[in-house]
Amino acid sequence: MQKTFALIESFNKPLDKTAFFEAKEKYCTSIRTSSFSMLENTNLIELIETIKRTLSQIGPYKDLTPFEALNRIGSDLVLLAGAEKIFNNEIPSIKPKTILLNMGNKAGYDVIIETDKGKVYGEAFNAAKSFCKVKMRESINKLLESSKSEERYSQKQRVIFYNEDITDIIEAYTNKKEKATPGVIIHKIPCNYKEVVDFKDR
């Protein structure tokens, strides 16, 4: 992962609010200055070769296919939007000291928020409407498993960041395992990933 994610040094440690916004700006700059584009092509075989087979450099990622890189960037932007909401106290019961964002498809939890009362674990995803229920179910299951295995957590809270264009589906979604675990609060936080990077100066 270190070889493919150019900003690993900015995100490989817990960040306080100041460090987060500095790292976020580096990420956004790498997106604004990316020269990658998809040329018009009606040959679907060639498009498959380009999108799913050809290694490229896109934003902060190198030596990945456009398919892989754009998937990671989509999730990263949700992570950045969600962390900003936490640092801006949009979830009053979570008062962060630092937030660790596992950018670049790292193993483990996507988000670890350090508070005075312990850690709050989280997941993040950027999913199409056809797949978002599956991603939400997987995220909830993973976070509820953590209540069994992790000793330190803040008031049994968890967070899930997701792309806000699926909010109508997520708000109507119910999860049996979550209902059966009333002692753990899972904050489901819609994130506008499309507005993380300001392209006005480009």
* pLDDT (tens digit per residue) in 35-59: 998 777 888 998 899 999 999 999 9
Higher pLDDT, 198 or 41: 198
What backbone torsions phi and psi does residue 61 show, to the nearest 5 degrees?
A: -110, 140
Q: Alpha helix (H) ranges present in 38-154?
A: 44-52, 66-87, 132-149
> pTM, whole model, 2 decimals?
0.92
Whether 188 shows a pLDDT value over 60: the answer reads yes
- Topology annotation, domain 8-195: Trna Endonuclease; Chain: A, domain 1 (3.40.1350)
As a whole number of angstroms, the distance between CA 140 and CA 53 comes to 32
The residues with which 124 forms a beta bridge, in sequence order, are 161
How confident is the model at residue 107, as a pLDDT?
80
Determine the Cα angle at 60 with ends 54 and 66, to 5°.
Answer: 25
- If residue 105 lies in a helix (H) or strand (E), which one and from where to where? none
Here the tokens at position 80 are 């950045």
- The three-state secondary structure class of 50 is helix
Average pLDDT over residues 91-99: 97
pLDDT greater than 70 at residue 202 = no
Kindly list the domain boundaries of the chain, sorted by start residue. Answer: 8-195
Q: Which backbone phi and psi does 124 adopt, to 5 degrees?
A: -145, 145
What local confidence, expressed as pLDDT, does residue 40 receive? 79
Q: What percent of the chain has pLDDT over 70?
A: 92
**Phi, psi values for residue 77, rounded to 5°:** -65, -35
